[in-house]
Amino acid sequence: FKPGDTKAEAVERRLANLGAASVLFYRQPIEMVAAQGAWMIARDGTRYLDFYNNVPSVGHSHPRVVEAVATQIGKLNTNTRYIVAIVDEYLEALKSHLPAALSNVVMTCSGSEANDLAIRVARAATGGTGIIVTETAYHGNTALVTETSPSALKRGSLPDHVIAVPPPSAGHFGNDIAGGFRASIEAAIAEFGRRGIRPAALLADSIFSSDGIFADPAGFLRPAVEAMRAAGGLFIADEVQPGFARTGEAFWGFARHGVTPDLVTMGKPMGNGFPMAGMAAKPEHLASFCTDVGYFNTFGGNPVAAAAGLAVLDVIREQGLQQNALETGRLLLDGLRDIAASEPRVAEVRGAGLFIGVDLAEEETGRPDADLTVRVIDAMRDQGVLIGAAGRYGATLKVRPPLCLNQAEAEQFLSAFRAAIRS
């Protein structure tokens, strides 16, 4: 930025207000003023195709969600100590998508709170304390879930009661991802044994987004979950990223693996931007937690959240967004694999529905190339596409557009990527 530049002033103002905890995307951050559908509009008038999307999942400013929130907040919004019909209506609609055994849902305001609670419930239900996560996982920002989020650690190490295992990738386990992942869970359980710690849960994002997006082969999670249960622990499916139809093949990421989790946590797309999240549990697990401590959440699942959540479920169903995620996701996957076939620096393309990871690597060595990834992200931005990176090396592009993405927008993304990788 140049001195006197209004953008530099806006960044300085933000840093003065938010301090060291300010997180900004891009070295030259963008000031956004509006968004609609798959598009975001910057102060300078530039329109960006949003491929970073994981919150306004049914489309930015979706009129149904806007209307539902505005109507409800104009009628009744309150703390959560009263009976309000729309809240139960929402929970019943949400539960119609969940396994029947998980018939209690605790509403929270963030995915972090949902995971924090799930870990506490798992510990109360099992009497264990050990938590297994994957190497580059992110599960949130409370003290407890920061301990289970290796990707948030800038220095230091995980506490004794948390063990991180490699993500379920071919890079780690070759052709036997299911067997290799199971063996790594068993090794972690054995290590807990040596430390005198009983396991409480395997906590996994069922599409492993922060680890670099590992979706296939569907079913690979099952043996790992069985191993954890055999040791007396539970499986917490963190659906904050893959939930609410994103994978196309199923409403939840875990469903692709043919497992019924003991606890499910969810958030981000749940209210299309209205802050809401939750944890689904079996009544007996929740009851074992609630005998020792109470749980109350002032805002979690208030009437406005319920209205937003109901509108999101309606839109997913009425606009066929799960099917669109499947079809448009297939188009993106095929297009990206096509590019990979002629571009050696695109090492691997994998994913499910509208959640795809693209590994970028050095041409000569095949090693993950984080610098190239940053250059591609910047070049995509210059062409009007917003996209981020994930994975241990920061060399996996996270292709995650809104579920309403149409074919023309998917093709626009593919041409921008083709140009960016060749620039």
60 binds ligand PMP (CB under 6 A): no
Q: Are the C-beta atoms of residues 211 and 143 closer than 8 Å to each other?
A: no
Q: What residues from 9 to 28 belong to the interface with ligand PMP (CB under 6 A)?
A: none
* Shortest Å, Cβ 226 to ligand PMP: 22
Sheet holding 277-281, edge to edge: 104-108, 277-281, 263-266, 234-238, 199-205, 130-134, 162-165
Q: Which is nearer to ligand PMP, 168 or 335 (CB)?
A: 168
Q: Are the C-beta atoms of residues 131 and 158 closer than 8 Å to each other?
A: no
Task: Give the whole-angstrom CA distance, residue 193 versus residue 395.
Answer: 35
* Shortest Å, Cβ 291 to ligand PMP: 27
* Shortest Å, Cβ 362 to ligand PMP: 28
* Shortest Å, Cβ 19 to ligand PMP: 19
Stretch that binds ligand PMP, among 82-90, 105-113, 126-134, 395-403 (CB under 6 A): 105-113
The kind and range of the H/E element at 108 are strand 104-108
206 binds ligand PMP (CB under 6 A): no
Closest CA to 147 of 169, 123, 121, 115: 115
Q: What residues from 236 to 275 belong to the interface with ligand PMP (CB under 6 A)?
A: 238, 240-241, 267
Residue number of the CB closest to ligand PMP reads: 111
Among 53, 72, 112, 322, binds ligand PMP (CB under 6 A): 112
The kind and range of the H/E element at 358 are strand 355-360
Task: Give the whole-angstrom CA distance, residue 15 versus residue 123.
Answer: 39
* Shortest Å, Cβ 335 to ligand PMP: 26
The phi, psi pair for 65, rounded to 5°, reads -70, -45
* Shortest Å, Cβ 209 to ligand PMP: 6
Among 53, 110, 328, 373, binds ligand PMP (CB under 6 A): 110
Stretch that binds ligand PMP, among 94-102, 110-118, 246-254, 297-305 (CB under 6 A): 110-118
The phi, psi pair for 105, rounded to 5°, reads -125, 125
Closest CA to 281 of 97, 86, 110, 122: 122
Positions touching ligand PMP (CB under 6 A) are: 110-112, 115, 138-141, 205, 209, 238, 240-241, 267, 277
